[in-house]
Amino acid sequence: MTVTFVRRLILLTVSLALFVSVVAEARGANSNAGTSGFSFLKINIGARAVGMGGAFTGLADDETALYYNPAGIASLEGDHYIAGYHNYFTDLQNGFVGYLHEVRYGTVVGAYISYLDYGDFTKTDEDGNVLGEFGGGDMLIGVSAATTRGENYRFGASLKFIYEKLDEYSATGVALDLGARYNTFRGRYTAGLAIQNLGFQLSSLGQEKDDLPLTVRGGGSATPKGLPMTFSGDVILPVDNDINFAVGAEYFELKPLYLRVGWNSFGSNYRADGSDDSLAGLSFGAGFDLKKMHIAYAVTLAADLGESHRVTLTGGI
């Protein structure tokens, strides 16, 4: 059954990859990267996941599954919370909070809020006269549900309402995330597939409505017997950019201390023309269990843009 499932997952991922590639080519997306609306939806969350390069679609075994693959929340028992802060580039501030409740064994529901604060800007007229300041930001409110089928399969979905504001202008949208996850009986090997941001804008900042950053993610993880490490890998297929790859590892021999490292090929987008910074896209992280709480930190190297730092608290209630 495991081999059959993996074959089907690979076939489905390849099919979706071809679909996304055709759509992207038709729109000329690769030559106009980042043209989708609500681009903050593509910001990875969670210090643990980011410390592993964002390769979390197949692993998806903690509260950050709300973002990477909603099917993964079905593996959580009891009630859980997540609270994260992200010091983004150029002093942008990003945060994520969520709550998860186990309705019954194998069925979990959740709600979460994510935001991105642009900070303050100086407003001027056409002649350069200062008129004051203005701000802007993005916010997402989501609800999720996931359930277990048999011992190995989990399926989930998230419905998201999106709001964006810049000065007196605003935009809104709705989106749907869908996910599936498979794990072996002992959980040492997992595979997952997620489709993010299926939706549309209800209103826009300008005259024309933008497409949402539709993304297909496929990935897996392995925790080899006798080795105190988990390895993960993702293939990420955005409509508005080239294919990305992410890999990561977590070392847990020192529990309650965890060490993490990862790499995401999207890091090449952080380099300015002519830059040869080969470390762009690398991430490092650490975590510590404190009673029912897990405290995680991660730093991402972003070449000419500097560094990006995350701190996340997760745990059971």
- Which 3 state secondary structure label does DSSP give 30? helix
Longest dimension (CA), the chain: 69
pLDDT at residue number 37:
87
Kindly state the DSSP code that residue 2 receives in the 8-state scheme.
H
Cβ of 231: how many Cβ atoms within 10 Å?
17
Residue type, 179: G
pLDDT at residue number 3:
46
pLDDT at residue number 126:
82
In terms of Cα–Cα distance, which of 154, 155, 197 is closest to 174?
Answer: 197
Mean pLDDT by 10 residues, the chain (317 residues): 49 51 48 74 95 97 97 96 88 92 96 92 80 88 96 95 91 97 88 96 87 95 95 94 94 97 84 60 96 96 80 96
- Domain membership of residue 280 as a residue range: 2-316
Q: What is the CA radius of gyration of the chain?
A: 20
Beta bridge pairs of residue 262: 248, 283
CB 116 within 8 A of CB 40: yes
Dihedral sign from CA coordinates of 61, 109, 161, 313: negative
Structural domains in the chain (count): 1
CB 314 within 8 A of CB 67: no
Domain at 202, CATH number: 2.40.160.60
CB 180 within 8 A of CB 190: no
Report the distance separating Cα 194 and Cα 191, nearest Å: 11
In Å, what is the CA distance from 185 to each residue of 62, 114, 152, 182, 220? 18, 33, 7, 10, 15
Report the distance separating Cα 165 and Cα 209, nearest Å: 14
- CA 121 vs. chain centroid, Å, equals 28
What's the predicted TM-score (pTM) here?
0.86
CB 177 within 8 A of CB 197: yes
